[in-house]
Amino acid sequence: MDTPSLSASVVGVWPYALLPLLSIIIYAFYNAWLHPLRHYPGPLLWRSFRIPYVVSTHKGQLHKQLKEFHTIYGPIVRIAPDELSYADGRAWKDIYTNRTGHQPFPRNQTWFKKQTPDEPHSILGFDEASHARYRRAFANAFSDKHLRDLAPIVEGYVDLLLSRLQASITDSVDLDHLIECIAFDIGSDLSFGQSFDSLRSGKVHPWVEVANGFGKGLALVASINRYPPIERLLRYIIPKKIMQKMQNHAMMSSAMAQKRLAMNTDRPDFVTPTKKYVEAKGGIEGKEWDINLMIFVFASSETIASALTAIFRELVQHPGTLHRLTYELRSTFQSEADLTIASTAHLSYLNAVINEGLRLDPPVVNAPPRVVPPGGDTVCGRYVPAGTYVAYNQFAANRQKYNFHLPNTFLPERFLLGKSSRHNDKDDMASFQPFSIGRHQCIGMKLAYAEMRIIVAKVLWGFDMQLANQQDRFDWGEQATYIFWDKRPLKIVQNRYLQILNSSNRDRDYSRTETQLPEDYKNDRPSQHQLESAGKPSSQPLSQYKPDAKKKKKKKKKKKKKKKKKKKKKKKKDLGSE
């Protein structure tokens, strides 16, 4: 064996082996200290590579990481070599609206990349011309007049939900499951012209089972699309089941959409007014119906299901808030029939509870980023180079003390506009935009609010509820998320309100005034110490606030002092007697 020649060959290979490592080091060094975004703060590893962002997305933990980063680094954080995350309310207008003298920031194509070349653009896609065309076509379906026509359909499903809850009296029930059922039943009825009938059957429809993997699939595909040269290789990381679910979802949606279009009916839904517009002016054709109706079912169902589940969980974990809302509902309406979409629209505390739920636990956690247009532009008064990805991340931003007072606390009073709140002046309400703003603001915002109000109102007017297991308490943000939340079950037990009123054991008086609310409401409020230390992270994310705790400590100290004095007096007496 020729040893010298072997060592020479090994030495000759070393430069080639070190070349990839050297390239990585140079790449990281450039991104961290020479890149145009080098002056923006952020964790070193994230500033140097995109990989931490992708890994965090795959684990469903990106929202937690961004919240932590914004707490450490402030309202603007560099979370990848070419991406900035914002928690400054000014970013909403700078990024998402058409500013005079500025180019619009287009949507990031990696989030809305076509899976096949012949796949049409959707109302959520990056193509601005297609988005504007669809928006005009569907506008009448979401007008105030048409929403009034949709009200009886929505209210009918809410009554069906109440009957399901009534059938489960004395037994624990998974409210998350029932909310998901009603949300998708309404969404399918209004989009496909037929209900999934999940509330009646008690089973999740196959379409919904497929849709449950849609958010995760979209998040994973979008994160992988950030690496175009090795996209095909990285795509193998995504479980085949998820990719198959997305394909099945599209096929099933197409069949249902075409079936609805073939119906000769004027029933109130999303299709009827849109068809009339299209027949007169055009705007939607062929497969464009399929993909947009699929999006309407999913967007109008999953987001509402997440929002409502979060709101109900916050309420059962904060009994004082639950009692105050119940008081507002039961003192306002004398019978269940009085509760309608119209009659519940202006209830102040109901709206405050819903808005606080959307703030603390936003259904869309990490918004798809926009792209800074050619020539670069300013965001929050600072220059950002062209091609940079920018986004306002609601979960991270809404839980920062520089945006909201007691940011991690469920505190609906902040939305009472000064009626009984001492927090409004410390809350940056301009940063609260749960449905986004600008040309891409959610077209179904008014319908979403109407659904949430009537569901919360009717359920709480008709039932007293609490957690089935009081140990089942956690911060909503602890869950994993892939654009949408990976929700845990919400097991509750409930009693029919009318049965309680008619029973001899009536332990609650709903005729009392707001100032006479019970102790559980008072104990649910923040103490003065907590008001002064707003925004500081708590070791117990769901603590019960007891403002009388300091008084108890003082009483204990006084008792100790009295005991000491008594002991001293006894000693003096004993010494005197001696």
Residue 566, both tokens: 């008594």
Q: Give mean pLDDT, residues 40-46.
A: 98
Q: What is the mean pLDDT of the chain?
A: 84
Q: What is the pLDDT of residue 505?
A: 38
404 with 414: CB under 8 angstroms? Answer: yes
Q: Is the pLDDT of residue 275 over 90?
A: yes
What does the pLDDT look like over 296-344, one tens digit per residue?
Answer: 998 889 999 999 999 999 999 999 999 999 999 999 999 999 999 999 9
pLDDT at 156 over 50: yes
Of 469, 490, 470, 491, the C-alpha closest to 479 is 490
For residues 146 and 108, the model is more confident at 146
Span 196-204, average pLDDT: 94
Distance CA 59, CA 65 (A): 11
- The whole-number pLDDT of residue 66 equals 98
**% pLDDT > 90, the chain:** 64
- The larger pLDDT score, comparing residue 93 to residue 109, is at 93
Tell me the CA distances in angstroms from 567 to 460, 555, 557, one per residue in order: 56, 19, 16
Residue 380 annotated as binding site: no
> The whole model's pTM is what?
0.84
Q: Which two tokens stand for residue 443?
A: 């077209």
Mean pLDDT for the stretch of residues 502-520: 40
d(CA 544, CA 324): 16
Partnered with residue 78 across adjacent β-strands are 84
- Judged by average pLDDT, the poorest of 11-15, 429-433, 478-482 is 11-15
Q: Which residues pair with 496 in a beta bridge?
A: 463
* 169: three-class secondary structure by DSSP: coil
| Rounded mean pLDDT, 260-270 | 96
Q: What is the pLDDT of residue 111?
A: 77
- Is residue 366 within 8 Å of 62, Cβ to Cβ? yes
Over its C-alpha atoms, the chain yields an Rg (Å, rounded) of 28
**Mean pLDDT of all residues in 547-569:** 58
Q: Is the pLDDT of residue 503 over 60?
A: no
pLDDT beyond 90 at 158: yes
Q: Residue 366 — very low, low, confident or very high, per pLDDT cuts 50/70/90? A: confident
Q: Which two tokens stand for residue 64?
A: 């937690």
Contact predicate 86/42, CB 8 Å:
no
Least confident interval from 4-13, 196-205, 353-362: 4-13
Strands 377-379 and 83-86: unpaired
CA 290/CA 354 separation, integer angstroms: 32
On whether the CB atoms of residues 63 and 481 are closer than 8 A, the answer is: yes
Whole-number pLDDT of residue 230: 56
Give me the residues paired with residue 77 across strands. Answer: 85
Specify the DSSP class assigned to residue 420: S
Which H/E stretch holds residue 38? none
Residue 519 CA, distance from chain mean position: 31
Tokens of 19: 């070349």
Mean pLDDT of the 70-87 span: 98
pLDDT score for 566? 66
pLDDT at position 251, please?
86
Looking only at the bridges linking them, the beta strands covering 484-485 and 481-482 are antiparallel
The 3-state DSSP class for residue 68 equals: helix
- Give the residue-averaged pLDDT of 386-412: 97
- Dist CA 285 CA 282 (whole Å): 8
pLDDT at 494 over 50: yes
Q: Rounded mean pLDDT of 39-57?
A: 95
